[in-house]
Amino acid sequence: MKATLHIHSITRRSWRVSLKNISRLYLVLGSLLFATFITFVLQLWLGEYPIAPFDVLNTLLSRQVTDKNYHFVVMELRLPRAIVAWMVGMALGASGAIIQGLTRNPLASPDLTGVSAGASAGAVTMFVFFPGAPDVLLPLAAFGGGIFTAWLLYLFAWRNRSTAGSDSPLRLILIGIGLSAVLSAFTSFALTFSEIWNAQRAMIWLTGTVYATGWDDVNALFPWLVVGLPLTLLGARDLNVLNLGDNVAQGLGLPLHTVRAFLLLLAVALAGVTVTVAGIMGFVGLIAPHLARRLVGVMHEKLIPTSALMGGFLLILADLIGRTIRPPTEIPAGIVISIVGVPFFLYLLWKREKA
Amino acid sequence: MTNIVQTLNRLKPKTLHFLQIGAFPLTIAVLGLAVVVSITFGAVDIHPATVVDSIFAFDADNTQHLIIQTLRLPRALTAMLTGAALGVAGAIMQGLTRNPLADPGLLGIQAGAVLAVVSGVYLFHIDTLPVYALFAFMGGALTALAVYALGSLGRSGATPFKLSIAGAAITSFLSSLTTAILMFNQRSLEEVRFWLAGSVAGREMSLVLQAAPFLVGGLILALALGRQITTLSLGEDVARGLGQNVGRLKFLAAASIVLLAGSAVALAGPIGFVGLIIPHVVRMFVGVDYRWVLPYSAILGATFLILSDLAGRILVRPLEMPVGIMTAALGGPMFIYLARRKVK
């Protein structure tokens, strides 16, 4: 009881401390937004068809520009694509921060746990076997697939009878690898039934890219993010308490199961909706929370928004690199992120081993 | 499963030996049956007698004979050789590293081989299977070293967990690079795509014959190592105490793994999980002696891949599913089971 009270006071104190440090948070968030803005401008400016920043501005403001193509290139191709990349990155960054907090596992992320593969399988199932269904249902199907996978993950990785206290971080990732293998196989299986989905399109689903996304996709993401991202802040403080351990959290009167279920649904919903637009975008959900933690520390009410903005920035940057490294070839953003993300993941593994 | 193995180990050596020898004709018969079914089944159903005819009395004007000789037989042979190679490679990897999760696909060897071949096509315009194989060997060997080095980092050494995760990470990294290279160069995409999916379909007989020496060489080398690997699987100290040259054995075993996995990739592309599943199934029946585990892994691996390919053809008829997807669907659950139960 004494210990509980003590910890309770710690959490309250750190909440007060965090209030003191809040200006640092704003500084970080501001810098991230600024960096994102710069990347945004570059995204509209550069490409196979470069448009000078001034012309971009004029086009955005619907002023007269010399070239009639500008409007199409900026408003219909680059702007929605940049917005989609930003939104997808934000959703994944927030989702990754929640999943890492929830599993207390620094190696976890929506893609590494198989949740993204599950969402993809769900969306593809809907797409292939119920072709008449309205597009609004697609994110719901992805959500369902993600939740189903999370349930399997819970079943296999935690409810382990043979070894006590077995929520080993590495086991979780291994089970995720196994689940991803089965689910990707299922996705490929489903895709063989659909004729309109050629190999190229199937690859997009499996590698992650914002290529050829448009305003439709912005509209599809919008409601989920507008509802989902603010809700993450609601769960942030509970996540802090959860990280003190189940017993402590329960002692502090936290309804463990409700809180966990709420956070899990939120994380899966955010990751799931990105899959319907951009496929399985790996490693954003892993990297963003780690970078964010370096900047603002471990308190989730600061970590989650920072991680979201970081994810958005990273994904726009990755897409910019993939688009401009060797035009006219476009490297999917997911590939760019993986090439950077895997060494980062291995670094985390190494650091964990050293500790 | 553990119980079965334990029961087997408690069997009198004579009884176990009876099982080891007795199962041989049975598994060979099942493999033969699988080959025949694989050849007869397809868009055109062919009578088994015609299959025999096409081999011994080939008639170039007979459509069915042509189908068998140019499509079905190479396909069955590809599946057989690849399956045997992957099964044995997996068994040796599991014995060598004492890691129940070892598999040429999971530990990145296949991804490394694929990247090496794709880079070869892109940079040096290689276009024949023996050269593909050479690149595949180099890529596979380098990747194996890298994964082992990464998986051994830290105090706890090369635990199954760390090796598997390093393997998965490296696989994802190398596949990303492969995809990037393929996107840069449409020509290599065209040339490489036919085997990149991990499929045994559409291989010409000449390709199978070109890959066969490597595969068979790797198999012979592997089978010759059976006794030493059994000793090694008891632990390095034990093996050393029994007078074994552990360094040389490890080198030879690694060479056979690279030969087998590399040529399997050169022939059929990356096919996962065969090397994971088969040795575990084999050990259930013949115990832990690699003199028996290795040949049975070859036979069951071949049978498994032929049947997986067959299932991939039947399931979505008249379409086809690459066999790599079938093995992943079956291997994923096995992997999860092993990660839960066999790895501490």
Ordered DSSP codes for A137-148:
HHHHHHHHHHHH
Alpha carbon distance B2, B7 (integer Å): 9
Nearest to B266 by CA among B78, B80, B35, B38: B78
Would you call A175 and B325 a contact, using CB atoms and an 8 Å cutoff? no
- Give the tokens for residue A296: 């603002």
Inter-chain residue contact A338 with B156, CB threshold 8 Å: no
Contacts of A238 (CB under 8 A, 6+ apart): A254, A259, A263
Rounded to whole angstroms, how far apart are CA atoms B213 and B210? 7
**Scanning every residue of chain B, which has its alpha carbon at the shortest distance from the alpha carbon of A328?**
B184
Which pLDDT belongs to residue B301? 95
pLDDT class of B184 with cuts at 50, 70, 90? confident
**pLDDT for the residue numbered A20:** 59
Instruction: Tell if the CB–CB gap between B164 and A177 is shorter than 8 Å.
Output: yes
Best-predicted range by mean pLDDT (A55-69, B151-165, B216-230, B329-343):
B216-230
Q: Which of B2, B172, B195, B308 to mutate to test the interface with A (most CBs of A within 10 A)?
A: B172
- In SS3 terms, A168-184 reads as CHHHHHHHHHHHHHHHH
Span A268-290, average pLDDT: 90
Residue B211 near residue B77 (C-beta atoms within 8 A): no
* B183-192, long-range: CB < 8 A, 24+ apart: B183/A329, B183/A330, B183/A331, B183/A332, B183/A335, B184/A326, B184/A329, B184/B122, B185/B122, B188/B118, B188/B121, B188/B122, B191/B121, B191/B127, B192/B117, B192/B118, B192/B121
CB pairs A-B closer than 8 Å: 124
Please compute the mean of the pLDDT values over residues B178-194 and round it to a whole number.
Answer: 71
Q: Does A203 touch chain B (CB under 8 A)?
A: yes
pLDDT at residue A266, rounded to an integer: 92
- Looking at CA atoms only, how far is residue B316 from chain A in angstroms? 8
Tell if the CB–CB gap between B328 and A182 is shorter than 8 Å. yes
* Residues of B in Cβ contact (< 8 Å) with A342: 169-170, 172-173, 176
A234 and A1 Cβ atoms separated by less than 8 Å: no
Q: What is the mean pLDDT of chain A?
A: 82
Q: Do A181 and B343 touch (CB under 8 A)?
A: no
User: Which of A156, A181, A339 faces B331 most closely, judged by CB atoms?
Assistant: A181
**Region of residue B307 (left: phi > 0; alpha: psi -120 to 50; beta: else):** alpha
Stretch A92-101: mean pLDDT: 93
Whether the CB of A159 is below 8 Å from some CB of chain B: the reply is: no
- pLDDT tens-place string over residues A181-205: 899 888 878 877 665 544 555 566 6
**Which chain A residue lies closest to B332 (C-alpha atoms)?**
A178
Of A285, A293, A283, A289, the C-alpha closest to A344 is A283
Residues of B in contact with A154 (CB under 8 A): none
| A339 with B176: Cβ contact below 8 A | yes
pLDDT at B97 over 50: yes
Q: How far does the CA of residue A188 sit from the closest CA of chain B (Å)? A: 7
Asked whether the predicted pLDDT for residue A147 surpasses 60, the reply is yes
The nearest CA of chain B is from the CA of A321 a distance in Å of: 12
Residue in chain B lying closest to A185 (CA): B325
Rounded Cα distance between A293 and B31, Å, is 56
**Residue from the list A156, A175, A185 with its beta carbon closest to the beta carbon of B328:** A185
**Interchain pair B339, A345: CB under 8 A:** no
Residues 6+ apart with CB under 8 A from B109: B140, B143, B144, B147, B257, B258, B261, B262
Q: How does pLDDT run across B43-89, given as a tens digit for each residue?
A: 777 888 887 788 787 777 888 888 888 888 889 999 999 999 999 99
User: Which letter does DSSP use for residue B181 in this model?
Assistant: H
Residues 6+ apart with CB under 8 A from A69: A49
Distance (Å, rounded) from C-alpha B129 to C-alpha B211? 7
Q: Do B272 and A178 touch (CB under 8 A)?
A: no
Please tell me which residue of chain B has the smallest CA distance to A153. Answer: B336
Is the pLDDT confidence value at A122 over 70? yes
For residue A282, the chain B residues in CB contact (below 8 A) are: 172
At residue A112 the predicted structure's pLDDT band, cuts being 50, 70 and 90, is: confident
Q: What is the Cα–Cα distance from B285 to A142, expressed in whole angstroms? A: 42
Cα dihedral B162/B165/B169/B172 (nearest 10): 150
Which residues, 6 or more positions from B264, have their beta carbon under 8 angstroms from its beta carbon?
B81, B82, B85, B86, B89, B104, B110, B215, B271
Chain A: give the shortest CA distance to residue B90, in Å. 17
A344 close contact with B: CB closer than 8 A: no
The shortest CB-CB distance from A329 to any of B176, B184, B344 is to B184
For residue B98, the Cα-to-chain-centroid distance in whole angstroms is 18
C-beta of residue B265 within 8 angstroms of C-beta of residue B218: no
Give the span between the Cα atoms of A112 and A170, in whole angstroms. Answer: 11
Whether the complex's predicted ipTM is more than 0.85 is answered with no
pLDDT tens figures, A304-335: 999 999 999 999 999 999 888 877 778 888 88
Portion of chain B with pLDDT greater than 90, in percent: 29
Q: Please report the sign of the dihedral spanned by the C-alpha atoms of residue B202, residue B206, residue B209, residue B211.
A: negative
User: What pLDDT score was predicted for residue A257?
Assistant: 80
Distance CA A264, CA A284 (A): 18
Q: What is the pLDDT of residue B343?
A: 65
CB contact under 8 A, A342 and B162: no
Please name the member of B169, B179, B344 whose beta carbon is closest to the beta carbon of A345. Answer: B169
Residue B32 gets which letter from DSSP? Answer: H
Instruction: State pLDDT tens for residues B19-42.
Output: 778 888 889 999 999 998 888 887
Nearest partner of A221 among A78, A117, A88, judged by Cα:
A88
Tokens (6 digits) for B269:
């592309």
Chain A: residue whose CA lies nearest to B159: A170
What's the pLDDT tens digit per position in A283-296? 899 999 999 998 88
Nearest residue in B to A195, CA atom = B319
Note whether A182 contacts B333, CB cutoff 8 Å. yes
User: What is the per-residue pLDDT for A137?
Assistant: 85
* Optimal mutation site among A203, A321, A342, interface B, most CBs of chain B within 10 A: A342
pLDDT of residue A237: 86
pLDDT value of residue B130: 83
Q: Are A35 and A279 in contact (CB under 8 A)?
A: no
d(Cα B133, Cα B126) in Å, to the nearest integer?
Answer: 11
Q: How confident is the model at residue A96 (pLDDT cuts 50, 70, 90)?
A: very high
A316 to chain B, minimum CA–CA distance in Å? 18
Residue type, A355: A
Of the partner residues A107, A168, A178, the one whose CB lies closest to the CB of residue B332: A178
Statement: residue A85 has pLDDT above 60? yes
Q: At a CB cut-off of 8 Å and minimum separation 6, what does B63 contact?
A: B44
Mean pLDDT of all residues in A95-104: 90
Rounded to a whole number, what is the distance in Å from the CA of B264 to chain A's nearest CA? Answer: 20
Rounded CA gap, A111 and A285, in Å?
8
**Tens of pLDDT along B208-226?**
888 899 999 999 999 999 9
Give the pLDDT band (50/70/90) at residue A11: low
Mean pLDDT over the full length of chain B = 85
A330 at the B interface (CB within 8 A)? yes
Please determine, for residue B161, whether its predicted confidence score (pLDDT) is greater than 70.
Answer: yes
Is A178 close to B335, i.e. CB distance below 8 A? Answer: yes
Residue B166 and residue B8: Cα distance in Å, rounded? 33
Closest alpha carbon within chain B to A336: B176
Between B323-341 and A137-157, two packed helices, what is the crossing angle to 10 degrees? 40
Rounded to 10 degrees, the C-alpha dihedral B2/B7/B12/B15 comes to -90
How far off is chain A from B276, nearest CA to CA, in Å?
12
Contact between A197 and B189 under an 8 Å Cβ cutoff? The reply is no
Cα–Cα distance measured from residue B63 to residue A166, given in angstroms and rounded to the nearest whole number:
60
A181·B332 Cβ contact <8 A: yes
Contact B329 A175 (CB under 8 A): no
Q: Would you say residue B188 has pLDDT above 70?
A: no
CB environment A100-114: b (16+ within 10 A), e (fewer): bbbbebbbbbbbbbb
pLDDT in tens, B119-148: 888 888 887 878 888 899 999 999 999 998
Contact yes or no for B179 and A332 at CB 8 A? yes
Say what the pTM is. 0.84
Kindly state whether A175 is in contact with chain B, defined as any CB-CB distance less than 8 angstroms: yes
Side-chain-side CA neighbours of residue A191 (13 Å): 22
The pLDDT assigned to B237 comes to 85
pLDDT value for B70: 81
Q: Cβ(A145)–Cβ(A128) under 8 Å?
A: no
Mean pLDDT for the stretch of residues A254-270: 87
Amino acid at A84: V
CA distance A311 to A87: 9
Nearest to B341 among A162, A203, A346 (CB): A162
Q: Evaluate if residue A248 carries a pLDDT over 70.
A: yes
